[in-house]
Amino acid sequence: MTTTDSLEDAIEVLQQLGLKEYEARCFVGLSRLHTGTAKRLSEMTEVPRTRVYDAIRVLEAQGLVEIQHSSPQQFRAVPLDEATETLRDQYEARVDRLHNALDTVEIVDEDDETPVQQVWAMSGRDAIENRTNQLIEKASEEIVLVLGDESLLTEELVARLNDVGDEVTLLIGALTEPLQAQIQTAVPNATTFISGLEWLHGEDVTEDETAIGRLLLVDRSTILVSSIVPGSKTEQAVFGEGFGNGLVVISRRLMAQGLLTARDPKQ
């Protein structure tokens, strides 16, 4: 990534965190200077000089910029670690505020006759990983997880799996022996196995074919299956709960292929 690309990426992220474009450009510009005047900053960032002052006032109020009241005024960005921590605190505060606001909203037209079986689609690795972690956390009896890609064995997932209580049976399948060994080392309390689902990642699979990412069955009633889209490597999933015994039994048998019957506590 070139310097120009890095700068534009930083500006985009700052806007996503709530700064306006001129504010983001001024902060990024100051991060490249020890100190700078409005004129110097305007020349560097292409922000109109009159708008630089407005942007600086906002950045100062947010604790991201310091001002020296000299003639002309000098500006400087706070240290990067301090700035990122300040932005993180502000972002988390907004998220908490959103949660608290929506948590008190009254549900309208709640349907008491919701179908027993439901299937929903979702996209994005972060969202799918969050749903996976929540399902694992809520498990009370059994977790069967098959991973189709080693990149999905994240630190957060490993931590969540290691927090599973002894009262919950934890079965984790892998597609290869190296991945199984990696899982066993990372999650020593789990029963690991080599999945027999060759269609997950067989030798004939090409880069143009969609690959299965993760399969999760919790307490024989909640299922999550994800796929990894070729090219973009984005993850998509379907999630369902409240299934009848037939579908759950079939899903579990498919997911647990390769697990020896003698080691299967639910046989």
pLDDT per residue over 196-218, tens digit each? Answer: 665 555 445 555 566 778 889 99
DSSP 3-state assignment of 75? strand
Distance separating alpha carbons of residues 226 and 214, to the nearest angstrom: 5
Instruction: Name the percent of the chain lying above pLDDT 70.
Output: 81
List of domains in the chain: 3-103 (1.10.10.10), 118-260 (3.30.870.10)
- Taking the model in full, what pTM does it have? 0.69
Residue 260 pLDDT more than 50? Answer: no
Nearest Cα neighbor of 95 from 130, 44, 146 is: 130
pLDDT digits (tens, 9 = 90+) for 168-192: 999 998 888 888 999 999 999 999 9
Amino acid identity, residue 12? Answer: E
| Tens-digit pLDDT profile for residues 68-96 | 999 999 999 999 999 999 999 999 998 99
CA distances 170 to 127, 257, 264, Å, are 22, 15, 10
Residue 202: predicted pLDDT: 46
Longest Cα–Cα distance of the chain, Å, equals 81
Q: What is the mean pLDDT of the chain?
A: 84
